[in-house]
A and B are shown apart, each in its own frame.
Chain A
Amino acid sequence: GAVVSQHPSRVICKSGTSVKIECRSLDFQATTMFWYRQFPKKSLMLMATSNEGSKATYEQGVEKDKFLINHASLTLSTLTVTSAHPEDSSFYICSADPGSYGNTIYFGEGSWLTVV
């Protein structure tokens, strides 16, 4: 089946620094990718919809300047957490819609971010 790769799987960074998470669709092109955040034992919260070649669409309450999303190609979207704080520590998951390639939405492996 289709594969979505996310990197890094785990990252620890210091407060005030920025960290980038990559999401790649390995065997299909994705004009749309989604970024989610998940707290322990909670559901997935949609942060933004990443559109190839245009600006991301952010959900209400998500800071655009803090969570920078770039969808530079049909197989790559990146999420950059800028000026990270401990409260940004979370599990971040991306997903990609393969369009005509398949019916389901495929998820990356997720990235654990710990800000110390």
Chain B
Amino acid sequence: ELKVEQNPLFLSMQEGKNYTIYCNYSTTSDRLYWYRQDPGKSLESLFVLLSNGAVKQEGRLMASLDTKARLSTLHITAAVHDLSATYFCAVTDDKIIFGKGTRLHILP
């Protein structure tokens, strides 16, 4: 059974700081997704990582994938308040399984 574990589940940080969210998964998968969810809203696609060593960056967010370690990271650089949201990683088997999400709260 495919399992996806995220940590931390909750993160409160100051603006301007850097931090990393980790996503571990239990079996091989050909795709790893990162999504953002704002309160009361649906999911917004951030990144899709397809291969070992893949790195993608958008603004202050950077995602990477290590398929051998079955680990993906979402790194936040110089956080700003607008990045406050819940971030989910998800992995495909024959279906998409989500981690529990990381609630990120950035203090102004």
Which positions in A face B, CB cutoff 8 Å? 1, 6, 34, 41-44, 46, 49, 93, 95, 103-110
* Number of A-B contacts defined by CB within 8 Å: 45
Which single member of B31, B88, B90, B103 contacts A103 (CB below 8 Å)? B31
CA distance A1 to B46 in the complex (A): 12
The smallest beta-carbon distance between A108 and chain B, in angstroms, is: 6
Which positions in B face A, CB cutoff 8 Å? 31, 33, 35, 41-45, 48, 50, 88, 90, 95-101, 103
Which 8 A-B pairs rank lowest in CB-CB distance, beginning with the nearest?
A: A110-B42, A107-B43, A103-B48, A104-B48, A104-B45, A43-B100, A44-B98, A109-B42
CA distance A1 to B98 in the complex (A): 22
CA distance A104 to B98 in the complex (A): 14
Chain B residues positioned under 8 Å from A42 (CB to CB) = 100-101
The smallest beta-carbon distance between A91 and chain B, in angstroms, is: 8
Chain B residues positioned under 8 Å from A105 (CB to CB) = 33, 45, 90, 96
**Beyond the given A34-B95, A46-B97, A108-B42, could you list 9 further A-B residue pairs with CB under 8 A, ordered by the A residue number?**
A42-B100, A44-B98, A46-B95, A46-B96, A95-B96, A103-B50, A104-B33, A107-B45, A110-B42
